[in-house]
Amino acid sequence: MILLQINQLSKYYGAELILSNMKLEVQNKDRIALVGRNGAGKSTLLKIIAGQISHDGGEIIKPKGITIGYMAQDTGLESELTIWDEMLTVFTDLIEQEKELRRLEADMARPDIFENETIYQKVLNEYDTLMVAFKEKGGYQYEADIRSVLHGLQFADFDYSTPISTLSGGQKTRLALGKLLLRKPDILILDEPTNHLDIETLSWLEQYLQSYQGAVLIVSHDRYFLDKVVNLVYEISRNNMKNTMVIIVLI
Ligand SMILES: Nc1ncnc2c1ncn2[C@@H]1O[C@H](COP(=O)(O)OP(=O)(O)OP(=O)(O)O)[C@@H](O)[C@H]1O
Ligand SMILES: [Mg+2]
C-alpha cells in the first residue's frame, strides 16, 4: 500500500532553489533513509512532508487518513507536565472512553435502570460496543506501552512524576522521541534521531524501528545505525547547481 507519493517537488528559499525534481514514494513497511551532505536539503524535505513548511512546485499525494509523525532535528519535549502525565496525553481518547465505560457501569447499577428491562438493555448494548472499541484501540495496553518505551529510552530508574522542565536537553529529546513512538503514526519521520543517544538506547531504537508496523523515513549520518534499520536509501545530491534525488539501491 502506498502511503505517500512525491512528484517533481521543488522548494525555494528566497531566490535560491534548494530542492528540485524530488521524487519519493513511501509504501507500508518501508524503511527509508534520506542521506546527503550538510545543507543538501534533507531537513527541508522532511518539514515539507510533515506539513510544517510549504513547497513551490510539484505534488504530494497522501491517501486520506494516513497519519504522519515527525520529529525535527535537535528538538526536545518542552512541557509543564510530569514524565508520566505527558506520555498519557497521547492516549487522551482512550482515557475519555475509559471514563465513559465507568459512567455506564455506574448507570447499570442504578435501580431505576436495571429494573427497567428496555433501558437496561440499551445501556448494556452501548457498554458492549464501547468496550469492544476500547479493547481494539489498545485500552488495556497503553500503560504497558508507555512503560516499555520509557524503559527502552533509559528512563526505567526515573520517578515518572518528575517534571519534564527539570530534565536535561538529552532527556527531553529522548522523551520527544518516546511520545512520537507511542503515537504510532503510519509514517514515522525522524530527523537525526540518534544524536545524543547512548549505545543501549540506540540498539533498543534499532529493534523498535525494525519491527515498527508502519513506514519509517529517517535522516541520519550514522551509517551503522542506518545499516541496521533501513532497506532503501535516497540520496539528495547536487547536479547542475540543483539538489535532486538519486535512489541508492541496497544489496
Ligand atoms: N528557513 C530558511 N531560510 C533560508 N534558508 C534556509 C532555511 N532553512 C534552511 N535553509 C538553507 O537550505 C539549505 C538546506 O537546509 P537543510 O537544513 O534542509 O539541510 P540538511 O540537509 O538538513 O543539512 P544538515 O545535514 O546540516 O542537517 C541550506 O543551504 C540551508 O542553509
Ligand atoms: Mg538537517
Relative to the CA of 53, which ligand 1 atom is closest?
Answer: 1
Do 154 and 85 have their domain in common?
A: yes
58 lies in the same domain as 179: yes
Give yes or no for residue 44 CB within 6 A of ligand 1.
yes
What pLDDT, on a 0 to 100 scale, did the predictor assign at position 222?
92
Find the 128 Cα to ligand 2 centroid distance in Å.
48
Shared domain check, 225 and 109: no
**Do residue 66 and residue 100 come from a single domain?**
no
Do 223 and 193 lie in a common domain?
yes
Instruction: Tell me, yes or no, whether 129 and 86 share the same domain.
Output: yes
- Note whether 10 and 50 are same-domain residues: yes
Task: Read off the CATH number of the domain in which 65 is found.
Answer: 3.40.50.300
Handedness of CA 248, 249, 250, 251 (dihedral sign): negative
Atom of ligand 1 nearest to the CA of 14: 4
Q: Across the strands, what pairs with 246?
A: 235
DSSP string across 126-138: HHHHHHHHHHHTT
Q: Of the residues 162, 197, 232, which one is the last residue of a structural domain?
A: 162
Q: Which residue has the cell 530534565?
A: 167
Considering the domain boundaries, does residue 250 fall inside one?
no
Other beta carbons less than 10 A from residue 8's beta carbon: 11
Q: Among residues 162, 189, 210, which one ends one of the domains?
A: 162
Q: Which of 42, 234, 242 to mutate to test the pocket of ligand 1 (most atoms within 8 A of CB)?
A: 42
- Could you tell me the pLDDT band of residue 247, with boundaries at 50, 70 and 90? low
Same domain, 98 and 153: yes
Q: Is residue 212 part of a domain?
A: yes
Residue reference for cell 547536487: 238
Task: Give per-residue pLDDT as tens, 85-96.
Answer: 999 999 999 999
251: in domain = no
Provide φ and ψ at 220, rounded to 5°.
Answer: -160, 145
pLDDT at 249 over 80: no
The domain tally of the chain equals 2
pLDDT per residue as tens digits for the range 98-147: 999 999 999 999 999 889 999 999 999 999 999 999 999 999 999 999 99
Residues 45 and 92 in one domain: no
Same domain, 54 and 103: no
**Ligand 1 centroid from CA 250, angstroms:** 27
Last residue of a domain, one of 99, 133, 162: 162
Q: Give residues with Cβ within 8 angstroms of 198, minimum separation 6.
A: 154
Query: What ligand has the least distance to the C-alpha of 41?
Result: 1
Phi, psi of 249 (to 5 degrees): -90, 130
Probe target for ligand 1 pocket from 16, 35, 44, 244, with the most ligand atoms within 8 Å of CB? 44
Which cell is 248 given? 541508492
Cβ contact 70:52 at 8 Å: yes
pTM for this one?
A: 0.90
Domain with 219 in it: 2-79+170-245
Mean confidence (pLDDT) of the chain: 93
DSSP state of 139: T
Nearest CA to ligand 1 atom 17: 43
**Inside any domain, residue 126:** yes
- Nearest residue (by CA) to ligand 1, atom 4, is 13
Q: Are residues 69 and 176 in the same domain?
A: yes
Helices (H) and strands (E) counted in the chain, each on its own, are: 9, 9
pLDDT tens figures, 159-179: 999 999 999 999 999 999 999
pLDDT tier, 74 (very low <50, low <70, confident <90, very high otherwise):
confident
Alpha helix locations (H) across the chain? 42-49, 83-88, 92-108, 111-114, 117-136, 142-152, 169-183, 199-210, 223-229
Expressed in angstroms and rounded, the spacing between residue 219 Cα and the centre of ligand 1 is 13
pLDDT at 238: 72
